[in-house]
Structure 1
Amino acid sequence: MMRYNKLLWGLSRINLAMDMAPAASRLQSTVAEPASSGRVSHRERNITKKEESKSFVMNIFRGSAVTEQAIPFPDILTEEQKETLEMLIGPTEKFFRECNDAAKNDSIEAIEEQSMQSLRELGAFGLQVPVEYGGVGLNNTQYTRLVEIVGYNDLGVGITLGAHQSIGFKGIMITGTPEQKAKYLPKVATGEHIAAFALTEPSSGSDAGSIRSRAVLAEDGSHYVLNGSKIWISNGGLAEVFTVFAQSPFTDPKTGVTKDKVTAFIVERAFGGVSHGPPEKKMGIKASNTAEVYFEDTKIPVENVLGGPGNGFKVAMEILNNGRFGMAAAMTGTICYSFKKALDFATSRTQFGQRIDSYGTIQEKLSRMAMLHYVSESMTYMISSNMDAGSKDYHLEAAISKCFASEAAWTVTDEAIQVMGGMGFMKETGLERVLRDLRIFRIFEGTNDILRLFVALTGLQYAGGHLRELQQALKNPAANMGLILGEGTKRAKRAIGFTNNGTIEGIHPKLSDSALLLGRAVEAFGYTAEGLLMKHGKSIIDQQFLLNRLANSCIDLYASLVVLSRASRSLNLNLLSSDHEEKIARVWVNEASDRIQLNLTAVKSSVSQKNFSDLEAIAKELSCHGNIIAERPLGF
């Protein structure tokens, strides 16, 4: 009875389905030229039975393992699609082997024109543009494989291509009108026109809602006049076509109230009033052009509004959500490159009379590097395949893949340098350039810090919607007895220590122990998420110490699912690598379950709460002081 009363008390405090949506949307906005999410109405955000998500990550916030999109591991390419892909892999690898010089590109801080022309001839600027518009017409999974090759060879080229098609004209692809597609896609597909994505401003980074660029409709209604500037725009000095986000007056047709809302526009340099600054001097990806872009009384025809007036946040969210898997694909390729460098060195270097790959310290490094590659690759192909299968529930998984792969690539490259010792530190080895190039990937298209909060808040919002549904059901028990009894039984079992034994269906019997660990971790996660909602209500938005640990647990849970699914597929098919993959999956899940337990314990631990409080106080003291506070050991 006490547990039941506590549930009612907690539910009475939760209006998350309505109150958390704006915060989750704002936190999704991002970045060093990334973007922001759409502000969806409260009514649209209210989760009901009819809106059950198929997302594994979304559902773990309810303690439920929904594996429809993950098990069995998806394999959606037809034989014809595989043949098409195989025909493209050879020329792409040949380009990087014979035409492109990544070190020279880095040195001259540009991609040589002959390389750009070769990329145009390969069709690299329009890989996913439909054939009828002059593109190659690849699906997401085919695109993933080619982006891996780019990530393996040259991230400067990768950013040039990615900024062009993954975000630059992606809005035209997914929200453009037939007329917009017919006008712009043919030229961007061939690379005749380079595209760029322009959101970030000097005063607007992760908070895209604070942008100041402004577009005002002319009196005759024929065009908008745009004024403002954008910073850190990839391809900013090369682009002829821009997807630009600006504030514009918008009148709500229902209320008649006019207020500024962000609108997305397709802007051509040829419209006039468009200029750019000199290329930025950067730590890495130097071959990629990055510049400030200025708009001065730029006239934009009304037919160049993208996605409708006032829908800029929604357009930006759709672009970024749709493209994040590509970043994970590039990172997977980079991980493979760095790992191969380390492995080649370790198997040829002799110290103290033995090859260094015979020493446990090096063995652990190599094994963990391979595990990080396996997880990143598995995530990337699972998400791209889900998208190709028509899924709309992949946004949290895509955000996780971007966070995981960008951090994994940094770790693997750093460890590769360590394995190679002084040789790894030398410029000629190539890893120095890769490490510099990699650093930006944890920042742009959604900083990993913001994306973690986005994952946690969106998942909690979803869980809150279901708790709200239960709250409503309790007002009319007779009509909702099934729902109430089902939820009540689940909570009663939790209260006395019984669970559903953590069953995850579809995992190979050799990995049944690992599947059990995952299932139990999902239940523990859901229980913790619900407890946070009960305790904090909508103020959970401000508990970032807790949200970050919740997000880290999400990452480990999803990573565990994808490796179990992929390893199970290999075991079921009796692939030559199946035993090797089984070992990787088993070690990963064992260690991930320990990390999950630590993070979930920290969320509830009084000791951790005191630590978080002290950390907050330390940070405030440092900010007020403006420097390190601790007295120097010598006193001066």
Structure 2
Amino acid sequence: MVVYLKRKLIIIPEKCRTTVAFSTHGVRLSQAQAKTEAPKPDRMNKTPPESKSYAVNMFRGNVVPEQCFPYPDVLSPDQHETLEMLVSPTEKFFAEVNDPAKNDALEKVPDDIMENLKEMGAFGLQVPTELNGVGLNNTQYARLVEVVGANDLGIGITLGAHQSIGFKGILISGNPEQKKKYLPDVATGTKIAAFCLTEPGSGSDAASIKSRAVLSSDGTHYILNGSKIWISNGGIAEIMTVFAQTPVKDPKTGVTKDKVTAFIVERAFGGVSHSKPERKMGIKASNTAEVYYEDVKIPVENVLGEVGEGFKVAMNILNNGRFGMGAALSGTMRSAILKASDFAANRLQFGRKIETFGAIQEKIARMAIKHYVTESIAYMVAGNMDRGFTDYQVEAAISKIYASEAAWWVVDEAIQVMGGMGFMKDAGLERVLRDLRIFRIFEGTNDILRLFIALTGIQYVGAHLRQLQAAFKNPAGNIGVIFGEASKRAFKSVGLGGGKSKALEPHVHSSLSTQAEYASEAVELIGQAVEAILMKHGKNIIEEQFVLNRLAEAVIDTYAMAVVLSRASRSIERKLDSVDHEILMTKVFCNEAIGRVRSNINGMKASSSIENYKIMSQISQTICKTGGVAHVNPLGI
């Protein structure tokens, strides 16, 4: 039920792929890829598409509230009732029937647990009811994912690899015939699904995959050869979404080039085999294996999407399901906070309960704040998806990054609060910490996703700057564009923006007005910083990863500020019992986040920071050249 992509993959939008590809260790540019085409005049004069994404618009220094304010409320009374009917038995099953410690020790999900999950409908939560599924929307799905994440991430991976990515392509990109043929069996768990992209030699740089599928001479099927590595459910899956290079002829030029195509592959086709299950640090209950394809005959009817459009299919799958990780890990964090706070409220030291000590209070408060932010973002993204918005890729990436890092921190601190007890297996947190480590790697490493966030936003800004550049060639005919964009930027540059922006004032409750000003200021700082780095670096910004990382950090914090302000404002309006508590968490988060945003923006331009980046680059190169630590032991032995 969680959202889990096979480790590392390309996550730059397809239209950027001629400029950049990601390798396992970072950004790699070939000479051909480094050459960027100059924009054609007719394209420069076209109005670039406008995005409703709150996060993307921050790169232009704009507040576009539609996808952030008010906090989404998408469930009808019937949907809410359905969800209540599902949550209670699911919680009971995980509390009374499933044993995560046993699953971890066995390194598999026991057969009886798998059968119970199938009977509960856990394998087809978002498949329409007419195709044997439960028919949940994204928000309902997120709530059930949260239950799983609170109890057993190993099972979460098994369910998520199946439906969040395994057959998700069929659900969102399949034609009616494909859906009718495959969804009923995968929805009931009769057949398990897997997502097969990563290969031994291609991680983040998925464009370099070697698996190939060649059309047969009679045109009835493709012949697939290759292998995939680290595939969740790889040893048990009967239905696989597989990505392979296929020869594609350009109708305009007549030139044939390899492009990635997505296929629905059945193990029953023959020629499909797998390795023994991998031995892993965590999520041991999930099956992870290498999968091999030898002369597998795939009917042409099993092309998923269009031939040569495999990257588009992959991106749609990932963007559609990534929100689930935030929901799952918010459940994990809630469970850890429960254990830590219960321990703190009962543990006596120096004649006092440790909950009274400031050091413990700060830990527990920060744990709660991180959970509040994680949960708020996850349901914000899910709600926007249910509202029909399609431009949420950056927000989904933010959710994944924040959730995976916050959950690791929260569980680690929960162990610290519990001391030696937390370190013991019986407490259950050591298993959770092992399980959590993969989430910063899953679905694109967090390092790669930070570059994705920064470069996606910069690309959006670049499109508008090109339009502005074209407008100045004919100022009389483009006066609206010039005054709407250029003058606004000029005012910002010379400090005529009137200080802290009031852009969020109409959308945030008055009791949070100071924090709303911080969030607005952060948006302005990002817009100014993006314009400055584009002017300084131009297309070479791709090489400035020290800068891009800090930009991404600022964007993550700024989006999170807006989301918690939105949620807290809704809680105030509804007079929820927890409203005072939510206001306090929101204030602390925003008060500290603006400091981090200012620091990161300054770190993009301060001479001392730039000098440090250069030095760190030199240090890293020396270590890699040496083959390890380059400084000698202080004893010289």
Interval containing the TM-score (normalised by the shorter chain): over 0.9
Instruction: Please point out which of 16, 25, 29 is paired with 1:21.
Output: 16
Answer yes or no: is the 8 Å Cα contact 1:29–1:208 preserved in 2.
no
CA distance in 2, matches of 1:437, 1:339: 17
Inter-CA distance 462–182: structure 2 relative to 1 (3 Å threshold): same
Q: Which amino acid aligns with 2:429?
A: L
Q: Which amino acid aligns with 1:383?
A: V
**Correspondences of 1:88-167 after superposition (within 5 Å):** 88-167=86-165
The reply on whether 1:422 has 2:420 as its aligned counterpart is yes
CA distance in 2, matches of 1:48, 1:541: 25
Answer yes or no: is the 8 Å Cα contact 2:48–2:463 preserved in 1.
no
**Correspondences of 1:144-543 after superposition (within 5 Å):** 144-500=142-498, 501-503=500-502, 504=504, 505-543=506-544
Inter-CA distance 490–468: structure 2 relative to 1 (3 Å threshold): same
CA deviation string 1:87-135 (max 9, x = no partner): 1011111111222110000000001111100000000000000011100
Aligned residue for 1:614?
615
Aligned residue for 2:626?
625
Aligned residue for 1:14?
none
CA deviation string 1:208-247 (max 9, x = no partner): 0010011110000000000111110000011000000001
Following TM superposition, by how much is the alpha carbon of 1:308 offset from its aligned partner in structure 2, in angstroms? 1.1
CA distance in 1, matches of 2:214, 2:249: 13
CA distance in 2, matches of 1:442, 1:99: 29
SS at match of 2:150: helix
CA distance in 2, matches of 1:555, 1:533: 20
Aligned residue for 1:548?
549
CA distance in 1, matches of 2:18, 2:52: 23
Q: Which amino acid aligns with 1:556?
A: D
| Structure 1 moving runs of 4+ over 4 Å | 17-20, 27-31, 41-48
**Correspondences of 1:575-594 after superposition (within 5 Å):** 575-594=576-595
Structure 1 unmatched ranges of 5 or more: 1-16, 32-40
CA distance in 1, matches of 2:349, 2:545: 47
CA distance in 1, matches of 2:172, 2:57: 27
CA distance in 2, matches of 1:106, 1:344: 25
CA deviation string 1:7-58 (max 9, x = no partner): xxxxxxxxxx999822677459999xxxxxxxxx999998954611000110
Identity within the alignment, %: 62
CA distance in 1, matches of 2:492, 2:311: 40
SS at match of 1:51: coil
Paired positions, count: 611
Q: Which amino acid aligns with 2:602?
A: T
CA deviation string 1:407-443 (max 9, x = no partner): 0000000000000000000011000000000000000
Inter-CA distance 68–90: structure 2 relative to 1 (3 Å threshold): same
CA deviation string 1:468-519 (max 9, x = no partner): 1100000000011122123333233223322254121310000001001111
Aligned residue for 2:9?
none
Aligned-residue RMSD, C-alpha: 2.0
CA distance in 1, matches of 2:23, 2:98: 36
Answer yes or no: is the 8 Å Cα contact 2:246–2:259 preserved in 1.
yes
Answer yes or no: is the 8 Å Cα contact 2:124–2:186 preserved in 1.
yes
Aligned residue for 1:561?
562
SS at match of 1:510: helix
Aligned residue for 1:11?
none
SS at match of 2:17: helix
Q: Which amino acid aligns with 2:586?
A: A
Answer yes or no: is the 8 Å Cα contact 1:27–1:453 preserved in 2.
no
Answer yes or no: is the 8 Å Cα contact 1:20–1:538 preserved in 2.
no
Q: Which amino acid aligns with 1:373?
A: H
Q: Which amino acid aligns with 1:154?
A: D
CA distance in 1, matches of 2:530, 2:242: 38
Aligned residue for 2:29?
none
CA distance in 2, matches of 1:114, 1:20: 46
Q: Which amino acid aligns with 1:417?
A: I
CA distance in 1, matches of 2:558, 2:615: 29
Q: Which has the higher contact order (CA 8 A, sep 6+)?
A: 1
CA distance in 2, matches of 1:59, 1:223: 45
CA distance in 2, matches of 1:395, 1:485: 30
SS at match of 2:346: coil
The reply on whether 1:69 has 2:67 as its aligned counterpart is yes
Instruction: Please point out which of 55, 60, 68 is paired with 2:58.
Output: 60
CA deviation string 1:581-611 (max 9, x = no partner): 1111111001000000000000000000000
CA deviation string 1:308-366 (max 9, x = no partner): 11011110010011110011111111011111110110001010011001000000000
CA distance in 2, matches of 1:61, 1:194: 41
CA distance in 1, matches of 2:270, 2:465: 53
Answer yes or no: is the 8 Å Cα contact 1:30–1:447 preserved in 2.
no
Answer yes or no: is the 8 Å Cα contact 2:209–2:245 preserved in 1.
yes
Inter-CA distance 597–427: structure 2 relative to 1 (3 Å threshold): same
Answer yes or no: is the 8 Å Cα contact 1:502–1:516 preserved in 2.
yes
Q: Which amino acid aligns with 2:198?
A: T
Following TM superposition, by how much is the alpha carbon of 1:388 offset from its aligned partner in structure 2, in angstroms? 0.4
CA deviation string 1:177-208 (max 9, x = no partner): 10000000000000000000001110011110
Q: Which amino acid aligns with 2:418?
A: M
Following TM superposition, by how much is the alpha carbon of 1:630 offset from its aligned partner in structure 2, in angstroms? 1.2
SS at match of 1:138: coil
Worse overlay, 570-579 or 76-85: 570-579
CA distance in 1, matches of 2:459, 2:44: 9
Q: Which amino acid aligns with 1:151?
A: G
Answer yes or no: is the 8 Å Cα contact 1:556–1:596 preserved in 2.
yes
CA deviation string 1:521-562 (max 9, x = no partner): 110110001100010000000100000000000100011010
Answer yes or no: is the 8 Å Cα contact 1:470–1:483 preserved in 2.
yes
SS at match of 2:252: coil
Inter-CA distance 434–306: structure 2 relative to 1 (3 Å threshold): same
Aligned residue for 1:87?
85
CA distance in 2, matches of 1:151, 1:392: 26
CA distance in 1, matches of 2:159, 2:18: 32
SS at match of 1:129: coil
CA distance in 2, matches of 1:344, 1:418: 14
TM-score w.r.t. length of structure 2: 0.94
Q: Which amino acid aligns with 2:545?
A: Q
Answer yes or no: is the 8 Å Cα contact 1:20–1:457 preserved in 2.
no
Q: Which amino acid aligns with 1:339?
A: I
